[in-house]
């Protein structure tokens, strides 16, 4: 899977490159070339297994693809209960993470990907976080 800039003027890159670059060279955001149709297996899977199944097409042929199961297990290492509201409606409670913010899920996925990509790099990484809300705390906790 390759990722294109929303501004259309930069070279397509893989998932890892898009993640580490943050923004495309033309200032645009990276988006996938295509949106795959999710295919979930019929068995009742854990949340990390579901995440792996849904995310694997987005990491196809990327250097993180083989690490995706470990990344998903580390990302979803805290409870995310599914609460049934009625017979037809259920919701995931995303506020059970380390900072009690729904952003813990995305921030932990980002941190696990970056940590995996930098595993062989002896230089420490600097993560700069600035926010007026709970995003900074979630990102800081994820990278900690």
The reported pLDDT for the residue numbered 15 is 97
Please provide residue 85's backbone torsions phi and psi, each rounded to the nearest 5 degrees.
-90, -40
* pLDDT tens track for 33-46: 999 987 766 567 88
Record the pTM: 0.87
The reported pLDDT for the residue numbered 79 is 92
For residue 129, pLDDT beyond 90: no
The reported pLDDT for the residue numbered 125 is 83
* pLDDT tens track for 27-80: 999 999 999 987 766 567 889 999 999 999 999 999 999 999 999 999 999 999
Element (H, E) at 4: strand 3-5
Closest to 30 (Cα-Cα) out of 69, 1, 71: 1
CA-to-CA dists, residue 30 to 4, 41, 88, 135, angstroms: 5, 29, 35, 20
12-26, 47-61, 115-129: range with lowest mean pLDDT? 115-129
The reported pLDDT for the residue numbered 21 is 92
**Residue ranges per structural domain of the chain:** 36-143
CA-to-CA dists, residue 90 to 35, 67, 85, 87, 96, angstroms: 25, 30, 5, 8, 16
């Amino acid at each position: 899977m390759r990722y294109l800039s929303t501004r259309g003027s930069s070279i397509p890159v893989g998932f890892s490159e898009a993640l580490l670059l943050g923004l495309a060279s033309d200032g645009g955001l990276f988006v996938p070339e295509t949106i795959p149709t999710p295919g979930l297996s019929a068995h009742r899977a854990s949340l990390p297994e579901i995440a792996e199944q849904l995310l694997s097409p987005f990491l196809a042929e990327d250097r993180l693809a083989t690490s995706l199961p470990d990344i998903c297990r580390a990302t979803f290492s805290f409870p995310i209960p599914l609460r049934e509201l009625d017979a037809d409606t259920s919701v995931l409670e995303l506020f059970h993470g380390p900072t009690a913010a729904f952003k813990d899920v995305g921030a932990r996925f980002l941190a696990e990907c970056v940590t995996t990509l930098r595993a062989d790099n002896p230089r420490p990484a600097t993560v700069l976080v600035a926010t007026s809300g709970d995003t900074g705390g979630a990102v800081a906790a994820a990278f900690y």
